[in-house]
């Protein structure tokens, strides 16, 4: 039976995810519009949305499709862009790794940048939460963004070019990541990692299909880990 504490944590996770509706909705509409303009039919758009359920990877795939890129490049680029989810999973493993396989599978499927951000902050701030409480919070955090992503992708796919270009829906992605990263910059190691990622991403910006972002992510992790290692050694 679900305990009162688990219900409370679920609701806390739910309300933590509510603000992201206002970012996920226009972003998913934009994906549906661009996918329709790229020539995908409704079944193909919704199939990708439900099966892949990863915004940046889906945008990457659609962009490469419009450029008539080979299938292997589309798959490789999409995986590279979405590899950050493996990093997210690694950092959540100490908190959720003991959960049953079916729960971990569902959490992996429904993980978004937003659900990761609010969950890791919660788990770090309250390390004494039980495993079931942590699972409940994470589950609550995705209860808004997952149906939003799927349903508003459908809206974009159906509306297509009826949405005016001057709405500039593509502005939401930078705003989203600024909102996610800002509260997580708590230490010098965090700030150094963020600065490293910016510099390296700009330096390797000429590389195709988000490869530069992947290099920047590994460089940032290396810098942050080294700073924390030296701090602990002292």
**Cα dihedral angle (53, 78, 92, 232), rounded to 10 degrees?**
-160
Condensed to tens digits (0 to 9), the pLDDT of residues 156-190 reads 888 865 556 555 555 555 555 565 556 556 677 77
Condensed to tens digits (0 to 9), the pLDDT of residues 136-162 reads 999 999 999 999 999 999 998 888 655
**Cα dihedral angle (176, 177, 183, 189), rounded to 10 degrees?**
180
Residue in 142, 62, 146, 132 with CA at minimum distance from that of residue 98: 132
**pTM greater than the 0.75 cutoff:** no
Q: Apex CA 191: angle with CA 79 and CA 88, to 5°?
A: 30
- pLDDT for residue 139: 94
């Amino acid at each position: 039976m679900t305990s009162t504490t688990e219900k409370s944590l679920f609701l806390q996770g739910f309300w933590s995810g509510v603000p992201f509706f206002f970012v996920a909705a226009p972003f998913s509409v934009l994906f549906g519009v661009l996918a329709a303009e790229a020539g995908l039919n409704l079944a193909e758009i919704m199939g990708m949305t439900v099966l892949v359920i990863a915004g940046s990877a889906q945008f990457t795939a659609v962009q490469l499709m419009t450029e008539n890129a080979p299938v292997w490049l589309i798959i490789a680029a999409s995986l590279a862009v979405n590899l950050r989810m493996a990093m997210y999973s690694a950092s959540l493993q100490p908190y959720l790794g003991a959960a049953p396989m079916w729960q971990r599978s569902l959490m992996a499927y429904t993980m978004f940048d937003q659900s990761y951000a609010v969950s890791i902050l919660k788990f770090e701030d309250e390390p004494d939460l039980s495993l079931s409480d942590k699972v409940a919070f994470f589950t609550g955090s995705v209860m808004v963004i997952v149906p939003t992503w799927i349903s508003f992708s459908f809206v974009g796919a159906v509306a297509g070019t009826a949405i005016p270009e001057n709405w500039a829906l593509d502005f939401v992605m930078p705003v989203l990541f600024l909102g996610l990263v800002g509260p997580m910059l708590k230490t010098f190691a965090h700030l150094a990692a963020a600065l490293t990622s910016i510099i390296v991403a700009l330096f390797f910006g000429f590389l195709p299909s988000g490869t530069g972002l992947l290099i920047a992510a590994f460089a940032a992790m290396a810098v942050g880990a080294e700073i924390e290692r030296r701090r602990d050694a002292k």
